[in-house]
Amino acid sequence: MTTGSQASEAGGARALGGVGRLALAGPAADRFLDGALSLLRWTILALALLITLIWPGPGRTGHPLWLFVAAFIGYNAIVELLRRATSRLRSFAWVPLTDLPVAGTLYYLDREPGGPLFISFYLAVVTAAATLPFRRTALYTAAAVAVVAAIAPTLPEWAATPEDLRQLSARLVVLSLVGIGMTLLTRRLVAAREVAGVMRAEADRLAELDRLRASFISTVSHDLRSPLASARLALGVLQATATERHRPQERDLLATARRNLDRLTFYVDDLLAVNQLDAGMLQVRREPLDLRAVVADAVAALHPLFADKGQLLEVELPEPLPVLGDARRLEQVLLNLLSNAHSHTPAGARTVVAGRLAGAEVRLAVADNGPGIPAGELGRIFERFYRLDTTTRGSGLGLVVARSIVELHGGRLWAESRPGAGATFHLALPRRPRDPAPAPEGGGRAP
């Protein structure tokens, strides 16, 4: 069985290998060419009729020139009627077989070398170039050149003078170039449309795969949250009720299990956040809050991880940090920043969370004294799935999610580092406007 990917690749190969062979064009390309040919023929014939009406003149038979153009227009109308009435004649492939005899007959009756009816030969050659294979088009063009070369000397105004010979030669050369040039152009156009069609199909396939991926991640992430929450609750109850009958090793195992569940919950939250970001559905609820409370919750959640690794985690928040924000989402930001510091610093390292007011902004910094970030990597740490150290655990999504949440709050998140001197992540959020002063009692003006 051929898969969708294999079918797309096969279609691309057929399109790329189909230059010069109209048989590989496909129904869509055939319809496009038929519509373009019909429009081209009608447009050129309408212009030819308009010219002969604006500058009328008698043909060599005494009939007006526009009458011969109108005759070819009538023939073109019959062709269109047959194409629309009979499904087997819908394509233009048979039209060149009748174009050349009709064009030759009318050109002979017009009896004017290079007159308005000469344009009918161009239309015949162009139609053949768009519908016939290259070799047949070359033979058809040669036949058209032969018909013109045979008819021209029989016309009354033509003589074997050097000037007439030069004009006839020029017409024959131009007619040949039109036939060959249109053949090459048409094949290139057909191939380009085929490749575009294959690329559109491949883009649709990838879009569907991306939709399925997003749906899978969303479903699995939501399904994981309930058992994770239940397991965390159960472990919390066991830890809270731990007594002397639990050996130290057992209490340590409970604590380790609880921390690993917390870490897994962080990963699930990041996956959900990324999925919502891709769908444009991640929203934040802005409420008045003190950022110090968010920091306290995040520090309390991760302090055991730092302690297990022998790392110091300190907080320096001497003043209130009023913002309008979503406490849960901002805690997710802090958890990701602290988890990043914990993962990329060795035992004994020190991480400090410091905050201050800076004009219209609230500034928060998570700084560590670890190995730092190489200069060449600093610009990539906020890329999706990028990990500075592939030996450490992590999804590579934490910093992406953190920056996106901060930007949804109208803030900024950036990093600074010097190799060997640690790294600092700076968070800046708009400061909450001061609450309006209460109105004096009685509704009057304050003195």
Distance separating alpha carbons of residues 401 and 274, to the nearest angstrom = 6
Contact 365, 422 (CB under 8 A): no
Structure tokens belonging to residue 120 = 């009918």
Looking at residue 222, what is its pLDDT? 57
- Residues in a beta bridge with 361: 358, 430
Give the start-end residues of each E strand in 295-349.
312-316, 322-325
C-alpha 92/C-alpha 80 separation (Å) is: 9
Q: At 377, is the secondary structure helix, strand, or coil?
A: helix
Task: Tell me the Cα Rg of the chain.
Answer: 40
Domain ranges of the chain: 4-206, 210-278, 287-430
**CB-CB contact of 397 with 385 (8 Å):** yes
**Enclosing H/E stretch for 340:** helix 327-343
What lies within 8 Å, CB to CB, of 152 at 6+ separation is 113, 158, 168
pLDDT at 26: 56
Which pair of tokens denotes residue 339? 């988890």
Fold for domain 287-430?
Answer: Heat Shock Protein 90 (3.30.565)
With CA atoms as reference, report the closest residue to 342 among 382, 298, 386.
298
Nearest CA to 102 out of 77, 132, 139, 138 is that of: 77
pLDDT at 319: 92
Q: Are 60 and 111 in contact (CB under 8 A)?
A: yes
Report the amino acid identity of residue 434.
R
pLDDT at 129: 83
Task: Report helix, strand or coil for 184.
Answer: helix
pLDDT in tens, the chain (447 residues): 344 444 443 444 343 333 333 334 456 667 777 788 888 888 888 888 888 888 776 655 667 778 888 889 999 999 989 988 888 888 888 898 899 999 888 888 877 777 778 888 888 888 888 888 878 888 898 898 998 888 877 776 667 778 878 888 888 888 888 887 777 777 777 677 778 878 888 888 887 777 766 666 666 555 565 666 666 666 666 666 666 666 777 766 777 776 667 767 766 777 677 777 776 777 888 999 999 999 998 998 888 888 888 999 999 999 999 999 999 889 989 998 998 898 889 999 999 999 999 989 999 999 999 888 887 788 788 887 776 665 555 567 788 889 999 999 999 999 998 877 889 999 999 999 875 444 454 444 333
3-state SS class at 416: strand
Q: Judging by beta carbons within 10 Å of its beta carbon (0-12, 13-18, 19+), is residue 2 exposed, middle or buried?
A: exposed
The Cα 336–Cα 401 span in angstroms is 8
pLDDT score, position 63: 74
CA atoms of 217 and 233, how far apart (whole Å) = 24
CA distance 104 to 159: 19
Phi, psi of 119 (to 5 degrees): -65, -25
